[in-house]
Structure 1
Amino acid sequence: MTKQRSRNLSPEDVELIVGLLDGWSGTLTWRGLIESVERRLYFCYTRQALHAHQRIRDAFGLCKERLARGSRRKGEKHISSEMRLLMERLARRDAEVERLKGENQRLMEQFVVWLYNAQIRGIGQAELGRPLPRVDRGQTKAELRVIGSGRRSPRA
């Protein structure tokens, strides 16, 4: 009996997994992440499947670095539960900001590559800045298009 294949990760799934990593505390391993994802999405993915997504791979690396830096801090034993909750929330937001800065940097680098390639091929700024063409949401069947435009149908 073969195991059924899990569905492909959607952009919403990737966003959920990245959010899990933003708020991760404790030891981070691929096995732990896979189990956490399975509890949330009810599908089991392999490390390779998760690692294939750039955003998950980068968020995992940033989370590892953040946890390594955080483990060096000591002396947080005598903090109230409210303060601890606020500190966890702040740490989650800081991790999200750090991840988004990295994603923004990669997008800017991609933009520079596109700009260079456009200049090499002689595409000007006016052509690059031209708006997208309007989508024609008219009838798809020719006879309905003819009737809708006020002309007589070929069948009539």
Structure 2
Amino acid sequence: MRQHLTDSKINAIVGIIDGWTGKLTWNLLIEKIEPTTGRYSRQSLEKQPRIKSAFNIRKEHLRGRSKSSKENLSIVETKLVERLERLEAENNRLKKENNSLLEQFVRWQYNASARGITANQLNEALPSIDREASKPTRNSRPTVFRGDRRVKT
């Protein structure tokens, strides 16, 4: 059974994409990430918005880059330029992710307001979890939700 992409694997893949130099294709990316994260299909990677966005941003950046700009640089300078490009790519990707999250927050804020949910209700603390009561007791019955009501079965 294939494992799902976890947040840590997605972060690792996005980091690889941010530092990518040269031609970028889904097949080349799959080959590059396989030793660290395992083998995933293009479709699996493309389903993840962060990976897809990072891929598209980096690919667009690589298309517009001048190849002759690094020809007369020393090895140290070349490494510094590559690091700078990777950090710029990461910065651009994070800006776009942040804007996307801000848009989502505004959408949620509007929807909550339209349904009469107040800011205080949204900011309430999460209920605590009683880790000791993870096994149902003999007298407890599961709760079933029907519409807006709870019904003990």
Q: Tell me the TM-score normalised to structure 1 length.
A: 0.79
Amino acid at match of 2:115: R
Q: Structure 1 residue 55 and structure 2 residue 50: aligned?
A: yes
Amino acid at match of 2:55: F
Provide the C-alpha distance between the structure 2 equivalents of 1:25 and 1:44, rounded to a whole number of angstroms.
21
Aligned residue among 11, 26, 29 for 2:25:
29
Amino acid at match of 2:36: R
How far off is 1:73 after superposition? Answer: 5.4
Aligned residue for 2:87? 93
Return the index of the structure with the highest Cα Rg.
1
Aligned residue for 1:69? 64
How far off is 1:127 after superposition? Answer: 1.3
Aligned residue for 1:13? 9
How far off is 1:38 after superposition? Answer: 1.3
Q: Secondary structure at the match of 2:70?
A: coil
How far off is 1:45 after superposition? Answer: 1.4
Aligned residue for 1:152? none
Residue by residue, what CA displacement relative to the aligned partner does 1:71-116 show, whole Å, maximum 9, x if unpaired?
x353431111111111111111111111111110111011011101
Q: Structure 1 residue 119 and structure 2 residue 136: aligned?
A: no
Provide the C-alpha distance between the structure 1 equivalents of 2:69 and 2:54, rounded to a whole number of angstroms.
27
Aligned residue for 1:108? 102
How far off is 1:36 after superposition? Answer: 0.8
Identity of paired residues, percent? Answer: 42
How far off is 1:134 after superposition? Answer: 3.2
Count residues with an aligned counterpart: 137
Q: 1:142 to 1:9 in 2, by over 3 A?
A: closer
Aligned residue among 124, 128, 137 for 2:122:
128
Aligned residue for 1:46? 41
How far off is 1:131 after superposition? Answer: 2.3
Amino acid at match of 2:74: S
How far off is 1:140 after superposition? Answer: 5.6
Q: 1:25 to 1:128 in 2, by over 3 A?
A: same
Calculate the aligned-residue CA RMSD, in Å. Answer: 2.0
- My pick for the range that moved more, 94-103 or 76-85, is 76-85
Aligned residue among 63, 69, 78 for 1:84:
78
Aligned residue for 2:143? none
